[in-house]
Amino acid sequence: MDFFTEYASFLAKTVTLVIAILVVLASFAALRSKGRRKSAGQLQVSKLNDFYKGLRERLEQTLLDKDQLKALRKGEAKTEKSAKKQKNKPETKSRVFVLDFDGDIKASATESLRHEITALLTLATPKDEVVLRLESGGGMVHSYGLASSQLARIRDAGVPLTVCIDKVAASGGYMMACIGDKIISAPFAILGSIGVVAQLPNVNRLLKKHDIDFEVLTAGEYKRTLTVFGENTEKGREKFQEELDITHRLFKNFVARYRPQLAIDEVATGEVWLGIAALENQLVDELKTSDEYLAQKAKQAEVYHLHYAERKSLQERIGMAASGSVDRVLLSWWSRLTQQRFW
């Protein structure tokens, strides 16, 4: 028993020491970086044709014996050589630029998206294509309005834009998706939610119950319509609802502008549809996963994946690592608590 007590004491001291060292290092890094100009990010470009070729070759090496593999490589070399003889000039393939957008409530990925679009528009032509792999359940109106405006730059430049949705593009996510010349969805992806929602608690009665006063001073009749701590009025609620209705009308007009084939009043009810039903309602143009679409494109075009990565400071990396660890632990325990067993 004494051994376990001593071991637990030693373990606690070790953990405390490690945490203290990390805190000191983070503080030192923060002091060094204070006052420095934020370093620029870097555009990372990878050719997906090579990625798909590597997957195929790895599978061939596993499944085929030495003689079969040698014959296959010889046949490929012969085909390539004969193709070069038939054409004096190699045929210029079209290019496909692949972007990713994984949206949160603030559409934080917009910062990277704007740089990626700026870069590709310097080279892209109407013969090329931009494919956006989009995943977003929506969020703040102004944030997704900016993200949508970035995608509109591609269409304004005359470059075909295809939006692929594998999981979800709802609300602000669909606002972005509708800008595409073509929307491709997985059969059970969630789409739609063309509506606006706003909610906030009000604890005014609780404060009054404990004899706590809260003053809200404004200049302008509608500077503050609804508040968390103050007493809300019917006039304020009506004004707030009016603002929501205006935002919804602008949202509907925006979607109708880019997808005129939609019966906008029928689909702009805030409802969501799975991909199969979304196709029937013309919210999407085709049912297919992004993997299938890009694999087909790689056979006839040069496919490039673009990602703008911002350089992060030491304290940001430590914070992200800690936050990721906490998220994984909480998600793991939540999954265990809510797991349904089927026998």
Residue 11 DSSP one-character state: H
Q: Which of 243, 236, 198 is nearest to 218 (CA)?
A: 236
How far, in Å, are 41, 112, 186, 232 from residue 320 at the CA level?
17, 17, 31, 39
Backbone φ and ψ of 11, nearest 5°:
-65, -40
Annotation says 148 is catalytic: no
DSSP 17-81: HHHHHHHHHHHHHHHHHTTPPPPP-EEEEEEHHHHHHHHHHHHHHHHS-HHHHHHHHHHHHHHHH
How far, in Å, are 35, 117, 144, 272 from residue 148 at the CA level?
34, 12, 6, 20
The sign one gets for the Cα dihedral 154, 159, 165, 169 is positive
Amino acid at site 218:
T
Place of tokens 């084939």: 261
Q: Which member of 136, 148, 171, 185 is catalytic?
A: 171
Amino acid at site 58:
R
Q: Which member of 85, 89, 223, 299 is catalytic?
A: 223
DSSP 172-229: HHHHHHTTSSEEEE-TT-EEE--S--------HHHHHHTT-------SSTTS-SS-SS
* 101, 176 contact by CB (below 8 A): yes
Rounded (10°) CA dihedral 321, 323, 325, 328: -130
Annotation says 171 is catalytic: yes
Q: What is the set of active-site residues?
A: 171, 223
